[in-house]
Amino acid sequence: MPTAKTKSLSALFACLAALLMSSCSPATSSLDTGEPAEAVTASHTPFQRVVAQPSDTAEPTPQPSVTPSPDFSPTPDTRPLSSDWRNWPTIPTLSPWLEEVYQRGLDQGSDPHRFSVAGDCQNIPEAFMGLYDNKERVVFGANEQYLWETVDYFGGSWSRNGLAVDGGFNFPAVFSPLRADPATCGANEDPLSCEIRTYKPAFMFISMEFVYPGRTSENYEVNLRQAIQYVLEHNVIPIVLTKADNVEGNHAINEATARVAYDYDIPLINWWRAAQSLDGHGIDWERDANTVPQGFHITEEQGWSTRSYLGLKTLDEFLRSLDVLETES
């Protein structure tokens, strides 16, 4: 019969064995529910703004003796929604975060006196802003003489035939190396990337209104996002425009353009809104009487000049918000 001493030693050995077995068993986290983590899929990854990170060698921040209650109130976004694009202003302002993009562009060699255009036949210099390189054709009212500063500032860009603008251009074309200028661009370089690399603009207008078989508001939006993403990644400020026409019947492309401008927080010139006060809403219905689709081309006298004026006013607004003209005057 085991003695009391023997029983005590047996119990002691049993405890030690149990302790050793538990130390070798894999640990189970109290947060492990056994359920697989839910995958998060983003429908669109916007351009990432650069946020300064604290230095590893920075002195620790003194902690307050009493921890204040956190304020979870977000900064209100007062911008009008893309669904209300008809009421967006005709002349946009420059969002403060784009000032950082502008400065990074200058740091990498962009020319602040240059802008580019990526567009179709309604964006070639003859139709869009080219007149500002011919001062004999330009007259400003007494209260807008200041605009000559911006005209002079971008001299040469107004009438330049860029590599990303041409009659009949659309988004498939501007992304295709087959449509690039072989004398200037690399073998695998498309018109958009070639224009940015060779001309080094600080700003770029993007407007592809040309109607082609298969164009939908959905693929237009996908392509516009691709163009905006590329332009921002190269630290060029993109400027988009609504269009005066409604050949699709439901203004879906204008709303898609506004949606992209809203998501990226980039400037949008509301040309559609400005065109509503023009004869025929800015559309050359007589020219388009025998064309398909009808209502695409804008009028040369009012449409071209008004749209060009909006582009000039937008650039002037940006230069003054950046204090560029005041700095160089």
Lowest mean pLDDT among 106-120, 150-164, 315-329: 315-329
Query: At 286, is the pLDDT very low, low, confident or very high (cuts 50, 70, 90)?
Result: confident
Query: At 50, is the pLDDT very low, low, confident or very high (cuts 50, 70, 90)?
Result: very low
Cα 179 to its chain centre, rounded Å, is 23
Alpha carbon distances (Å) from 106 to 49, 76, 102, 205: 17, 31, 6, 18
Q: Where are the domains of the chain?
A: 82-328
Give percent of the chain above pLDDT 90.
67
Cα–Cα distance, 38 to 56 (Å, whole number): 33
Q: What is the pLDDT of residue 136?
A: 94
Burial class (CB in 10 A: 0-12, 13-18, 19+), 205: buried
Residue 194 has a CB neighbour count (10 Å cut-off) of 20
Q: Provide the H-helix boundaries in the chain.
A: 4-24, 96-107, 147-153, 171-174, 191-199, 217-233, 252-264, 271-275, 305-321, 324-328
Cα–Cα distance, 316 to 324 (Å, whole number): 10
Cα–Cα distance, 308 to 32 (Å, whole number): 62
Smallest CA-to-CA distance from 150 within 296, 271, 322 is with 322
Cα–Cα distance, 71 to 3 (Å, whole number): 69
- Report DSSP state, residue 179: G
Strand order in the sheet with 111-119: 111-119, 201-207, 237-241, 268-269
Cα–Cα distance, 150 to 152 (Å, whole number): 5
**Is pLDDT at 66 greater than 90 in this prediction?**
no
Q: What is the pLDDT of residue 73?
A: 54
Asked if residues 161 and 129 have their Cβ atoms less than 8 Å apart, the reply is no
**Averaged pLDDT of the chain:** 82
Q: What is the pLDDT of residue 12?
A: 43
Mean pLDDT of 241-253: 95
Asked if residues 324 and 101 have their Cβ atoms less than 8 Å apart, the reply is no
- Report DSSP state, residue 303: I
Q: What's the number of CA atoms in the CB half-sphere (13 Å) around residue 51? A: 4
**Is pLDDT at 57 greater than 60 in this prediction?**
no
Q: What is the pLDDT of residue 205?
A: 98
| pLDDT tens digits along 127-154 | 999 999 999 999 999 999 999 999 999 9
Query: At 326, is the pLDDT very low, low, confident or very high (cuts 50, 70, 90)?
Result: low
Query: At 74, is the pLDDT very low, low, confident or very high (cuts 50, 70, 90)?
Result: low
Q: What is the pLDDT of residue 13?
A: 45
Q: What is the pLDDT of residue 288?
A: 76
**Is pLDDT at 281 greater than 80 in this prediction?**
yes
Q: What is the pLDDT of residue 45?
A: 40
Would you state the structure tokens that stand for residue 139, as one six-digit string?
A: 């007259």
Smallest CA-to-CA distance from 147 within 329, 326, 315, 3 is with 315
Query: At 16, is the pLDDT very low, low, confident or very high (cuts 50, 70, 90)?
Result: very low
Quote the pTM value: 0.77
Mean pLDDT of 221-246: 97
**Is pLDDT at 280 greater than 70 in this prediction?**
yes
Buried b (16+ CB within 10 A) or exposed e, 171-193: bebbbeeebbeeeebeeebbbbb
Q: What is the pLDDT of residue 206?
A: 98
Mean pLDDT of 160-184: 95
Lowest mean pLDDT among 16-25, 227-236, 297-306: 16-25
Query: At 293, is the pLDDT very low, low, confident or very high (cuts 50, 70, 90)?
Result: confident
Classify domain 82-328 by CATH number: 3.40.50.1110
Alpha carbon distances (Å) from 226 to 17, 45, 229: 64, 11, 5
Smallest CA-to-CA distance from 233 within 193, 273, 206 is with 193
Query: At 91, is the pLDDT very low, low, confident or very high (cuts 50, 70, 90)?
Result: very high
